[in-house]
Structure 1
């Protein structure tokens, strides 16, 4: 039973059906100590000033950030992380605000640091990062080089990584556009 639950859990979450049966499955997963990580890239940034290394979201990005909040409305995150850039914080805050959660800033140069390792086991976690940091972070968790950097024009990729209490890890990438 656990094997099948772990196999289909990311699919159930991605479907966002919100039925009572799905909620029971999620509660069972929590009882098992399953850790689920969701990684999204920040929404579209304002590129009008190519010298600005910390731009705000473009109008299109504000719309996408709100869509991410809608996509995740049935996912009860325990923790929401963002790198310390305006575009990632704005994307994370759209989701966090819809769930009355706080955003924790992480250092994108120190992936999977001690605090992250200590605080996330058994939790459901959202990480809002970048086209180059998300795949590296996912690869680090998986302990293999499975994913390459995301194209700079791709803002709809969703990486889902699950870690079972026995250490078994699964991953998938969905494109929400």
Structure 2
């Protein structure tokens, strides 16, 4: 009986230790267990590859945000410089609600020139956090599986002086 009790105590501390060591990220509907450390992607080719893969979804989110906030009829961006793009990636474990996604990808974009209604110019920084299924990243958006590839879980928009 003592062996069983000792074993249960050891298992309990093992589970509690692992749960507290992992980072739990809560969204509106999901609880995500981040099992890896967030790492900034420094390699230019890798960073641009990830940005290019996710660009269409970010563009839709940006359009929606700025159209709603500024009642814009038109939005145009000046060229985005590669140094104005920052990417971080982090592995996630399976959650109890959803086992579709494998990584969190956070992308920050600094636009030196955002033009609203062909007259209002501003500098902006927009940051998006997506849950992604890395196994499906190579599929084109027209594959119809985009809802299983990316899920926007957070966005932050800032107009810079």
For normalisation by structure 2, the TM-score amounts to 0.26
Structure number with higher strand proportion:
2
**Rg: which structure is higher?**
2
> Could you tell me the TM-score, scaled by structure 1's length?
0.25
RCO comparison, higher one (Cα < 8 Å, 6+): 1
